[in-house]
Structure 1
Amino acid sequence: MNRKTASYDVVVIGGGLAGLSAAIAAAREGAATALLQDRPVLGGNSSSEVRVTPHGAGRFHAYARETGIVSELTIEDRASNHEQFHNNGWTNSVWDMTLYNLAVQTDNLTLYLNTVIREVHLSGEREIAAVSGHVLGTETELRIEGRVFIDCTGDGTVAAMAGNEWRMGSEGRDEYGEPHAPELESGDTMGSSIHFRARDTGRPAPYRAPEWAAKYDDPSFFYKHNRKPHDIQAGYWWFELGTPWDTIHDNETIRHELTRHVLGVWDWIKNKDPLTRDKAANYALDWIGQVPGKRESRRIMGRYLMTEHDVQQGTKFPDEVAFGGWYLDLHIPGGLLAPTSDLPGASEIISPYGIPLRILIAKDIDNLMMAGRNVSVTHAALGTVRVMSTTAIIGQAAGTAAAVALRRGIAITDVPELAIAEVQQTLLRRGCFLPNVENADPIELARLAEAVVASSEDLLAEVEPDHGAADSLDIRRSQWVAVRGPLERIGMWIKNEADQPQELRLELHRSEHIWDYEVKGSGIVAGEDFTAEPDTEHQPLAAARLEVPAGYAGWQYWPLKAGGDDQGGFPDEGYIRLDLLGTKELFWHHAASVQQALPSASELEPGRLRSHADGLTMSFAVSPPQPVFAAANVTNGVARPHRAANLWRSAKGQPLPQWLELRWSQPQRIGTVELTFPGSLLQDHNRYPAFFREPDCPRNYSIEAWDGKGWRTVLEILDNYQRHVSHRLPEQIVTERIRIVVHETNGGTEASIYEVRCYEI
């Protein structure tokens, strides 16, 4: 038996998206890092072994897609992968290799695959000295020593072996008063799943289930209990088993039982279900997963326990290092064995919320962190925190915090008090987003520029309609409108399909940000304008009723009271929300294309909106035109739409190239320029097609410096498709002015940039 020992600064155990992100983040921040994974591939539940597509806040909220390392990976995958991941079961090995490629080319990172950890070695009672395990297929025993350990095993294996407190199952409602907690404490967990993939063979493909497969004969099991076989090619999330089995110790039993049920369901689809058997006649099973994808097992207790109340109320944490935005996705214990697979929290949309560093720091072991579904949350909060895009950015936060602690020479337990600003600013610099933190990096030079100018700046005036696509106004429809000051008039393209006039009701609301979904009290007064007092929380800024003539199709304009106190509620810079209500005969037309930073919403339930159609923009027009896409936005500290548009966009109709320029009052030494472009913020990974590149993302661009006499190109970039890029210049320059010149995009007609950063080194 071979025996090997190695030492690192940071040791990450578990190679899912959380662990991979943690390891890459720590290594990029200069820490010698080891990543130990017990499978031959990276990605955990997202890998080709399990094939669950990564989801997160971007599924329900426009511009809330998780960024940083996870978006670097998904953007790369979409640009190079020949297949779209429509849903669970579709993932292929190209995704595996995208993850593997980034890991092996990351400096300071050593990768150990097929490595199962069997023992944790303590130094004293509160510190881990090393972990040891076995490398499968090599007859090698491995001992890995470290200074900081990050448990990304999902099951919390390292923390449990080290003796840290953990929980499994659900808290009772009386413990924290969580609405989605069961009345009594329970050991039940959400179940595990395996998935399948079927392919069209082009000819009849008979199927006969083995005798040991589960038997399904009752249509109501599928069609009355949220188990519809909606896609005969792949799926399904409801292939799920847990209780009465333990999702850790009974994992093999669960795997076998899930296999029985998958084959039984496929037999129902192929041979019994009158709604699917003809469609499935030529389909044959191509792949069945044999690694259960777990939703829940141990949750490691940390320095803070995050509850459902933190999620629902959007608690603002001083140590915010990540965010979530998935709904309270709490699956029914028992899965396929339960009477129903209905999801109790499925209709509840949660606005993006902050996640604190303290839930990533172990309670009882001082050099242990965790990232993934094993973080310090209650069962109810786990329903939203556990999805993979969220756990990936949690992982990046953990790896970053570990590296910062080592660099500062402080304990990881002291980071929330002594070094949280450095962690937050590092995360922002690396392309992450924090809802309540802006760029305040003390060494960043672009925000010190005295002027930011551009070759042209777009004005928000009219968003042209799509004459073939519209939504009925039988429910509330909403559009966020970026403004800089009051409006005199606002319009929308409306069609009336009735043979008599229809009433259109309109409201304008102040909006804190683009995920402000609360519908305030109505201020509509029949037949006249209404403008609320600026400080009236529960009334709209303005409300009115318009009559749309029979058979009309065209712009409907709403004149607003101009100037004075009547419009004191309009933000100097930010968003208002335009709400329309009417009848089923009235239709509001979509915009001809999705417009960056201008999302819409629709009413999910009375008093509550949800993002509409992956960030779709509705048609509207404003007067006077609003200068919301100014060049100065690139240094305002926020690199995506949130409380304002935060985007520079060149003027429509102006040909490329277009440029953006930073000017300082004194010469600056600049060695690195970092840029954030539009890209992959509107949809989840599985919504983007094969070989996708964001059209508005610059493809070819250059960085120029003023040398006192003219502009000199210092760097030229070709064939870019990444959203966040960092460019170390060939040599440090000294200049009072730099330009970013966009020569070509990946298909868009304007140049667009969210953020520019400059650093001396």
Structure 2
Amino acid sequence: MHAFRYLLVALCGCGALIAAEHDVVVYGGTSAALTAAIQARQMGKTVIVVSPDRHLGGLTSGGLGFTDSGDKSVIGGLAQEFYHRVWQHYRQPDAWTWQKRAEFGNKGQGHRAIDDETETMWLFEPSVAESIFEAWVAEHDIEVVRDEWLDRESGVAMHGDRITAITTLSGATYRGAMFIDATYEGDLMAAAGVDFRVGREANHEYGEEHNGVQTGVLHHNHHFGERVVPRPIDPYVVPGDPTSGVLPRISTEPPGEFGSADHRVQAYCFRTCYTNDPDNLVPWPKPAHYDPSQYELIVRVFDAGWRGLFGKFDRLPNHKTDTNNHGPFSYDNIGYNYDYPEASYERRREIIAEHRDYQQGLIWFLAHDPRIPADVQAEFNRWGLVRDEFTDNGNWPHQLYIREARRMVGRHVMTENQLRQREPTPEPIGMGSYTIDSHNTQRYITPEGYVQNEGDIGVHLNGPYTIAYGSLVPRRGQAANLLVPVACSATHIAYGSIRMEPVFMILGQSAATAAALALDLEVPVQDVPYDRLRTQLLTDGQVLAATARKEDGHDH
């Protein structure tokens, strides 16, 4: 039986009663969706998770097991509980099926992978993360419906400035008093008419340094500068001859004026899980649409002397990896995702399929093309996909890494200046600490006639920073009962740090806390008293002030 039956809509000025089937409806299957649902349940609310995904956990269970934790001391509440459950799992001897615990070591991102003092563990296999999420929601008897896709055209019912129900493409309707959009794309937020942004803001808009077009800025090692590639790389089919055409995966468009706004979105990829254990290895798959001409550029990169292929084979337990983009030409499918954030479901499926073909094709090229240096190819062929991961999807991750899509323009917009503590952050409801980290947005031809990447930014912080409650809620009058913890209100460059999975879990919990208080107090989410919210967050273990040293990450 649902504890909540009716919500007085005097909040909207209409004085009527609206039947509600759930106190809180969470749309999405991400890690933030699950912490939101668990928190709502722990606060005595009825809750349902309406997930377009069949698998729970988003990227946390979709290959990103080398946690981008930053300063782990500011990860509290349910996020810390998740990593505690990971620690508990790997304390069991039968968790080490392909490797002895003593052989694994204890290397994480800037800190110990296994921290027995705090009883947390920060590296894990994808299947372990998914099993933890499944068990966790089952413990709280949370209803989860899967493969349910919001009807983005007409599936959001509004009464004044309140959402009353959402309807999916299957025709199912889910009524609620509070709604949480925990998708990477911000689909519910957008369908409800809430303001949002796609692409990069100009630097001058919020007084930032690293937003907008960043030509000439070469951070990390994902570019064609001499620090990475010993000599310039020619972009033309016949080197030196522009009339011969341009190699695939290079744009012929001008990159744009430095610091200016644009529509471009940082690149996506799959965080693939590899193994070099022959007893659990699946040979590299050849994609049906394999086209070796798409990878000509990486041949020139190798010919120029680059040898960084294995730089992001980050080790997970049981001889597995979380393998990320690394280098000037790698798994990031630069420039092929610009329309994804607002695309139809059909078009998104096409983009996801193209990303899979591109990435699997690159893998096949590295493993089989005779132009790859023999020593590199021999080492690469010691690896393969993992037989006991993603078993219903050809051992390939079920989640594309949507590093950024829509971003709400809410009551408060988080900016680079607040992350770098140049400006104060109002009403903190959680913390982040990871380097401001955006991947490349375009690959272009320089005025000198060489290929170059643009958009990869890595800006270290002065320590952990706080995230404003206003970044989770729409502007007043747009949606009085909606919170948005993933596609939250931040500029492109600020989102480059906020977008980490532990932070999403933190924000999911905080969003649900605010939703529960808004119900109890019968106020719009914009009017939740911050003192009440802060007290509840601290009671439930959220960290709102830093006390530990900085532990920034890199190359996310």
Tell me if TM exceeds 0.5. Answer: yes
Q: Which amino acid aligns with 2:429?
A: V
Distance change in 2, residues 1:208/1:321 (3 Å): closer
Which residue is equivalent to 1:112? 145
Which residue is equivalent to 1:177? 207
**Contact in 2 for aligned 1:241/1:254 (Cα 8 Å):** no
Quick one: distance in 1 between partners of 2:527 and 2:140? 28
Question: TM-score, normalised on structure 1?
Answer: 0.51
Match of 2:32 among 2, 15, 18: 18
**Contact in 1 for aligned 2:64/2:322 (Cα 8 Å):** no
Distance change in 2, residues 1:211/1:162 (3 Å): closer
Quick one: distance in 2 between partners of 1:54 and 1:199? 14
Match of 1:34 among 48, 52, 72: 48
Of all paired residues, the percent bearing the same amino acid is 22
**Contact in 1 for aligned 2:77/2:542 (Cα 8 Å):** yes
Q: Which amino acid aligns with 1:212?
A: H
Q: SS of 2:172's equivalent? A: strand
Quick one: distance in 2 between partners of 1:27 and 1:64? 25
Distance change in 2, residues 1:90/1:67 (3 Å): closer
Deviation at 1:355, TM superposition (A): 0.6
Matched, 1:230 2:311: yes
Q: Which amino acid aligns with 1:43?
A: G
Deviation at 1:120, TM superposition (A): 3.5
Which residue is equivalent to 2:301? 221
Quick one: distance in 2 between partners of 1:406 and 1:92? 35
Matched, 1:396 2:396: no
Deviation string 1:43-64 (CA, Å, 9 cap, x unpaired) is 01112xx3123745x43x3x53
Deviation at 1:92, TM superposition (A): 2.9
Match of 2:86 among 71, 77, 80: 77
Which residue is equivalent to 2:137? 103
Deviation at 1:142, TM superposition (A): 1.7
Aligned residues: 426
Distance change in 2, residues 1:54/1:104 (3 Å): farther
Quick one: distance in 1 between partners of 2:514 and 2:270? 34
Matched, 1:252 2:352: no
**Contact in 1 for aligned 2:272/2:397 (Cα 8 Å):** yes
Matched, 1:199 2:292: no
Which residue is equivalent to 1:143? 173
Deviation at 1:335, TM superposition (A): 7.2
Q: Which amino acid aligns with 1:230?
A: G
Match of 2:168 among 127, 133, 136: 133
Q: SS of 1:309's equivalent? A: helix
Quick one: distance in 1 between partners of 2:63 and 2:352? 15
Deviation at 1:76, TM superposition (A): 0.9
Deviation string 1:691-717 (CA, Å, 9 cap, x unpaired) is xxxxxxxxxxxxxxxxxxxxxxxxxxx
Q: Which amino acid aligns with 1:365?
A: A
Which residue is equivalent to 2:538? 428
Quick one: distance in 2 between partners of 1:342 and 1:276? 27
Distance change in 2, residues 1:86/1:340 (3 Å): farther
Matched, 1:365 2:491: no
**Contact in 2 for aligned 1:121/1:130 (Cα 8 Å):** yes
Distance change in 2, residues 1:243/1:402 (3 Å): same
**Contact in 2 for aligned 1:241/1:334 (Cα 8 Å):** no
Deviation string 1:503-528 (CA, Å, 9 cap, x unpaired) is xxxxxxxxxx544xxxxxxxxxxxxx
Deviation string 1:391-421 (CA, Å, 9 cap, x unpaired) is 1101111000111121222221111xxx212
Distance change in 2, residues 1:316/1:173 (3 Å): closer
Q: SS of 2:261's equivalent? A: coil
Q: Which amino acid aligns with 2:290?
A: A
Deviation at 1:337, TM superposition (A): 11
Quick one: distance in 1 between partners of 2:348 and 2:123? 20
Deviation at 1:315, TM superposition (A): 3.9
Quick one: distance in 1 between partners of 2:130 and 2:324? 21
**Contact in 2 for aligned 1:255/1:290 (Cα 8 Å):** no
Deviation string 1:649-683 (CA, Å, 9 cap, x unpaired) is xxxxxxxxxxxxxxxxxxxxxxxxxxxxxxxxxx9
Quick one: distance in 1 between partners of 2:85 and 2:282? 36
Distance change in 2, residues 1:299/1:15 (3 Å): same
Q: Which amino acid aligns with 1:317?
A: T
Deviation string 1:225-270 (CA, Å, 9 cap, x unpaired) is 8963335655123522253441232433332332233233323443
Q: Which amino acid aligns with 1:237?
A: N
Deviation string 1:580-601 (CA, Å, 9 cap, x unpaired) is xxxxxxxxxxxxxxxxxxxxxx
Deviation at 1:93, TM superposition (A): 2.0
Distance change in 2, residues 1:397/1:226 (3 Å): farther
Quick one: distance in 1 between partners of 2:285 and 2:414? 48
Match of 1:385 among 498, 506, 509: 498
Q: Which amino acid aligns with 1:254?
A: I
Q: SS of 1:131's equivalent? A: strand
Quick one: distance in 2 between partners of 1:324 and 1:361? 18
Match of 2:464 among 352, 369, 372: 352
**Contact in 1 for aligned 2:63/2:273 (Cα 8 Å):** no
Specify every segment of 5 or more residues in structure 1 that has no aligned partner in the other structure, as ranges: 136-140, 437-512, 516-609, 615-682, 687-761
Q: Which amino acid aligns with 1:114?
A: D
Deviation string 1:198-249 (CA, Å, 9 cap, x unpaired) is 3335499986845732433545536878963335655123522253441232
Which residue is equivalent to 1:165? 195
Distance change in 2, residues 1:226/1:412 (3 Å): farther
| Structure 1 residues 125-524: aligned runs within 5 Å | 125-134=160-169, 141-182=171-212, 183-200=259-276, 202=278, 209=286, 212-215=289-292, 216=295, 218-219=298-299, 221=301, 228-230=309-311, 234-238=322-326, 239-241=331-333, 243-245=335-337, 246-248=339-341, 249=343, 250-271=347-368, 272-286=372-386, 287-313=395-421, 315-334=423-442, 339=451, 344-346=456-458, 348-363=460-475, 364-372=478-486, 374-415=487-528, 419-435=529-545, 514-515=548-549
**Contact in 1 for aligned 2:54/2:147 (Cα 8 Å):** yes
Which residue is equivalent to 2:222? none
Distance change in 2, residues 1:370/1:281 (3 Å): closer
Which residue is equivalent to 1:449? none
Q: SS of 1:117's equivalent? A: coil
Question: TM-score, normalised on structure 2?
Answer: 0.69
Quick one: distance in 1 between partners of 2:180 and 2:284? 46
Quick one: distance in 2 between partners of 1:242 and 1:131? 34
Distance change in 2, residues 1:346/1:105 (3 Å): same
Deviation at 1:370, TM superposition (A): 0.5
Quick one: distance in 2 between partners of 1:205 and 1:105? 34
**Contact in 1 for aligned 2:155/2:168 (Cα 8 Å):** no
Distance change in 2, residues 1:227/1:386 (3 Å): farther
**Contact in 2 for aligned 1:133/1:142 (Cα 8 Å):** yes
Quick one: distance in 1 between partners of 2:361 and 2:382? 18
**Contact in 2 for aligned 1:104/1:111 (Cα 8 Å):** no
Deviation at 1:324, TM superposition (A): 0.9
**Contact in 2 for aligned 1:6/1:143 (Cα 8 Å):** no
Q: Which amino acid aligns with 1:305?
A: V
Quick one: distance in 2 between partners of 1:208 and 1:42? 25
